[in-house]
Each structure stands twice: as C-alpha cells, then as structure tokens.
C-alpha cells in the first residue's frame, strides 16, 4: 500500500498522476539541453503532435499549455460571440472560457443519469444571440452527440465539446473527439493522460488547424505577419517530450482503471442509496473518475459521508459541487436559477468522486467500500 500514500500520512487522494520512467525522461532532457530548443513548435512538439493524432485516431490536433487556454482559443477559432448554451455541472474552467471571450453562458440542465447536457432541453434555451453549444463529456462519459449535432445543424450552431475528461474514449469504435466542430482535451496532472499541465484542440480540417496554431502563437503566420489577436498558449518542449514518453507507456493503464471501477461496482452493488454509473452501450470508457451519488435512502447525507471518508484518510472530491452557476460571477444569470437546472442542482448535492488511479490497490477500494457499507 505504500505507493498510494502521501509521504507523511495515510491519506488516499482522489487521483495520483502516472509519471514516465525517470531515466527515459532524463535522456529526453539531455536532448533538449543539447538542442537548446525549448518551445515554439520544436522537434518534440512536432513528434508528439503527430504521434498523439495517430494514437487518438483524429485528423488534426494542436497542443496547448493547458486545457483552459485551449478552450478559450477554441472559442476564438470559431469566432464564437453572443450566447452559448452550456452545462453548469462541470469544472469552472468550462464557463470561464466563455467569460474570457465576453460570451454570455446560458445554462441548460443535464440528464439525470450521467450528468451530461440534456439535448431535449437545448432548443428552449436558443435565442437569436445563440451561436454555439459547449457540452462536456462529464467523467469521460460521452454526451448524446447525435442529438446535439442534429440541433446544431437545424439552428446553424457550432458545437465545441469540452472533452477534458474524455481522452481516448470511443463510441461505436469512433473516437468521441471526432464529433462536433472542435473538441478540447486537458492533460493536467489529475487526468488519465498527463503532460504535467497541458491540453489540445482536435479539429477536422487543415485550415482550422492552421488558425488554431496561429492563435496559440500570438496570431503569427510568419516572421512579421500577425493574422489574428492570438495568445501565448504553446506547449513547451519539456512537456512534449514528457508527453511522448507517456504515450509510449499508456498501454494497460485503462485496463487497470477498468478493473478498479468494476471492483467498486461489484462491492457497492447492494448498498441502498448509493448509485454508481454503469458503462454505456458501445462505448470504450477511460474510467477517469469514479463518481457515486448518495440519495435520501442512504442514512448519511452526502457531506457527512464525504467527511467520514476524509476522517478515515480517504480524500474523495465533490466533482462537481458547487455548480458553476452558483459561483458569484454567474449566479446573477437568469439561467442560473436552480428551478431552470433542477437535475444538476440535485446531482451536485449527491456526488462524491472516489479515488481511482492505476496504482490504487484493490484492498484500498475494499477499505473505502467498508466505510460506506458500515454506515448504511
Ligand atoms: N474542463 C473540464 C471539464 C475540466 O475538468 C478541467 C480541469 C478543465 C476544463 C481545464 O483543464 P486544465 O486547464 O486544468 O488543463 C483539478 C484540476 O486542476 C483540473 O485540471 C481538473 N479539471 C479538475 C476536475 O480537477 P482540483 O482543484 O481538484 O485539483 P487539486 O490540486 O485539488 O488535485 C486533485 C487531486 O489530485 C488532489 O487530491 C491531489 C492530486 N494531485 C494533484 C496534483 C496537481 C496529485 O496527486 N498530484 C498533482 O500533481 O482541480
């Protein structure tokens, strides 16, 4: 159990990053030291981008320094303005990306099972100012991409998926990243695939990729030509070299996560008041998070169970509580009214994400479930 503990106590954290082999990484660093090329589309960057596109089965991918800047730049790429329909049940960066672009977020409720944007509620929220839909594949579970796509087609809206949790997820053998106009990934330390910090935008055509690449590099399209008001959101060579090694050793990690998720599910099965998310049909999941939902038939309230787990050294997280619509910047919006988003308002008060990462031991999962069971 030692590997799963922080250095000086018995705490089990919600996630632990997988790191590349240190000796291999040192070799990469030596190359970087030798080349003295640190950022701005270096060799490691180019190699990582091309290997990653192949690995994920996508046509074009542009690397970013983090997922939030990738989201902000994705909106710039498609020149999104006005209002965008999105979900309040996500990490706050999803909506902040709209705010940083001067776009008004319009919150729409989520489906009661997986917590993804509910396509049946989208149409009612469309106004003449709506230009796009920004759904999130929450916990890596795919949104209803077919229905979202149909609505977008009818109303002439763009679709940008926040796919921060959806690395390598497939639906009917097709990468989920290939749906919508753009998909945005995060490679933050807490994600299934990390480059310490990092992110990417996936797109379907060369022209769009070119615009994305200009935008993340101040808008430069040549030494003295600036074609757009870009930003600095480039991934550096150290991150890219690290990412390449991560890619080489990624095999088997999802299987390990799947084993953990199945172990949790088996043990939690008969506990009244605890709901887990089952795998979706025809989906290859990445098991990035393991959320449970605590309802009224469980003797403890969610926060009491969360605190009890913490007292026992199990640091789950309430992803996503509070709802984004509850934060001061967004609370005043009419779509933030809990009556507009009743399902999200319920789920946010029920969720605890339990620890899941490739090195977690099955006996730790058993300990966690015993704590939950003993209070039921
Ligand atoms: N869209 C969505 C849907 C997202 O979920 C996110 C990020 C984004 C966009 C934006 O992407 P980035 O700009 O971040 O690339 C974490 C992450 O910081 C954030 O990336 C992630 N979502 C969010 C869901 O979770 P915190 O505030 O919970 O992080 P923190 O530091 O409390 O870490 C969580 C756990 O992981 C802790 O128990 C400790 C452990 N940990 C963390 C780090 C950083 C480690 O063991 N090692 C580490 O290096 O937000």
Ligand 1: list residues with CB < 6 Å. 13-17, 66-68, 90-91, 93-94, 136, 162, 164-165, 186, 188-190, 199, 315, 317, 319
- Report which DSSP code applies to 322: S
- 269 and 167 within one domain: no
Other C-beta atoms lying within 10 Å of the C-beta of residue 156: 8
* 255 neighbors 39 (Cβ within 8 angstroms): no
SS3 at position 216? coil
Instruction: Show which of 246, 270, 305 is a domain's final residue.
Output: 246
In a mutational test of the pocket of ligand 1, which residue from 19, 188, 321, 359 has the highest number of ligand atoms less than 8 Å from its CB?
Answer: 188
Q: Is 215 helix (H, G, I), strand (E, B) or coil?
A: helix
Number of domains in the chain: 2
Helices marked H in 137-236: 145-155, 206-215
Indicate if 242 and 254 belong to the same structural domain.
Answer: no
Q: Which residue, of 214, 246, 278, is where some domain finishes?
A: 246
185 assigned to some structural domain: yes
Give me ligand 1 centre to Cα 187, in Å. 10
Task: Give residue 261's domain range.
Answer: 8-17+250-374
Other CB atoms closer than 10 Å to residue 200's CB: what's the count? 28
- The H or E element spanning position 35 is helix 22-35
Same domain for 82 and 116?
A: yes
Q: Is the domain of 220 the same as that of 257? A: no
Whether 97 and 41 map to the same domain: the answer is: yes
Query: Which residue has a Cα nearest atom 44 of ligand 1?
Result: 189
* One domain, residues 91 and 239: yes
Predicted TM-score (pTM) of this structure: 0.97
For residue 362, is it within any domain?
Answer: yes
Question: By C-alpha distance, which of 258, 273, 288, 260 is closest to 372?
Answer: 273
Same domain, 201 and 88: yes
Ligand 1, atom 11: nearest CA belongs to which residue? 67
Question: Has residue 1 been placed in a domain?
Answer: no
Q: How far is the CA of 190 from the centre of ligand 1 (A)?
A: 5
CA atoms within 13 A on the CB side of 227: 14
**Do residue 220 and residue 273 come from a single domain?**
no
Q: For position 9, what pLDDT does the model report? A: 56
Distances in whole angstroms, Cα of residue 51 to Cα of each of 28, 58, 334: 16, 10, 44
Q: pLDDT by residue (tens digit) across 3-23? A: 444 433 589 999 999 999 999
- Dihedral, 52, 54, 60, 62 alpha carbons, nearest 10: 10
**What is the sign of the dihedral through the CA atoms of 75, 324, 285 and 64?**
positive
Please check whether residue 256 lies inside any domain of the structure.
yes
Chain position carrying tokens 């997988």:
18
Distance from Cα 145 to the centre of ligand 1, integer Å: 25
Q: Specify whether 225 is located in the same domain as 271.
A: no
Residue entry with tokens 């074609």: 227
Q: Which atom of ligand 1 is nearest to the CA of 197?
A: 15
**Parts of the chain with a pLDDT under 50:** 1-8
* Domain assignment present for 167: yes
Question: How far apart (Å, rounded) are the C-alpha atoms in residues 293 and 353?
Answer: 9
162 and 29 in a common domain:
yes
CB-based burial label for 18 (10 Å; 0-12, 13-18, 19+):
middle
323: CATH: 3.90.1150.10
**pLDDT tens across 208-243, in order?**
999 999 999 999 999 999 999 999 999 999 999 999
Annotate 47-65 with DSSP letters as a single string: HHHHHHHHHHT-SEEEEES
In this structure, what DSSP letter does residue 348 have? T
Of all atoms in ligand 1, which is nearest to the CA of residue 187? 15
Domain match, 190 and 284 both? no
User: Which of 246, 274, 291 lies at the terminal end of a domain, its last residue?
Assistant: 246
- What is the residue-wise DSSP string for 246-267? HHHT-TTHHHHHHHHHHHHHHH
In a domain, 114, yes or no: yes
Does residue 264 form part of some domain? Answer: yes
Q: How far apart are CA 362 and CA 19, in angstroms?
A: 21
Within-domain flag for 3: no
CATH number at residue 61: 3.40.640.10
Which sign does the torsion angle of CA 161, 187, 167, 4 carry? negative
Whether residue 364 is found in the same domain as residue 286: yes
């Amino acid at each position: 159990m030692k590997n799963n503990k922080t250095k000086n106590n018995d705490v089990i954290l919600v996630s632990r990053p997988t790191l590349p082999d240190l000796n291999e990484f040192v070799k990469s660093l030596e190359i970087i030291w030798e080349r003295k090329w640190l950022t701005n589309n270096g060799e490691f960057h180019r190699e990582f981008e091309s290997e990653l596109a192949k690995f994920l089965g996508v046509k074009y991918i542009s690397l970013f320094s983090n997922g939030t800047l990738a989201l902000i730049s994705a909106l710039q790429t498609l020149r999104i303005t006005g209002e965008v329909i999105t979900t309040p049940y996500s990490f706050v960066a999803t909506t902040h990306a709209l705010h940083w672009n001067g776009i008004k977020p319009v919150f729409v409720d989520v489906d009661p099972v997986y917590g993804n944007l509910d396509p049946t509620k989208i149409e009612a929220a469309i106004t003449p100012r709506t230009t796009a839909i920004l759904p999130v594949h929450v916990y890596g579970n795919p949104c209803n991409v077919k229905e979202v796509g149909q609505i977008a087609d009818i109303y002439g809206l763009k679709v940008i998926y926040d796919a921060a949790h959806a690395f390598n997820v497939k639906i009917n053998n097709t990468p989920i990243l290939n749906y919508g106009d753009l998909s945005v990934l995060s490679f933050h330390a807490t994600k299934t695939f990390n480059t310490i910090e990092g992110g990417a935008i996936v797109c379907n055509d060369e022209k769009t990729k070119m615009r994305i690449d200009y935008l993340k590099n101040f808008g430069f399209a040549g030494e003295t030509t600036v074609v757009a008001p870009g930003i600095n959101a480039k991934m550096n060579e150290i991150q890219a070299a690290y990412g390449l090694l991560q890619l080489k050793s990624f095999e088997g990690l999802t299987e390990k996560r799947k084993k953990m998720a199945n172990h949790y599910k088996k043990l939690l099965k008969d506990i009244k008041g605890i709901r887990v998310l089952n795998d979706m049909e025809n989906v290859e999941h990445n098991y990035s998070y393991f959320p449970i939902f605590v309802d009224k038939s469980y003797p403890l309230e969610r926060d009491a169970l969360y605190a009890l787990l913490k007292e026992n050294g199990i640091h789950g997280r309430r992803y996503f509580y509070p709802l984004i619509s509850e934060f001061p910047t967004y609370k005043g919006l009419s779509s933030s009214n809990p009556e507009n988003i009743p399902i999200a308002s319920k789920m946010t008060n029920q969720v605890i994400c339990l620890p899941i990462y490739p090195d977690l031991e099955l006996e730790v999962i058993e300990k966690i479930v015993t704590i939950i069971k003993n209070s039921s």
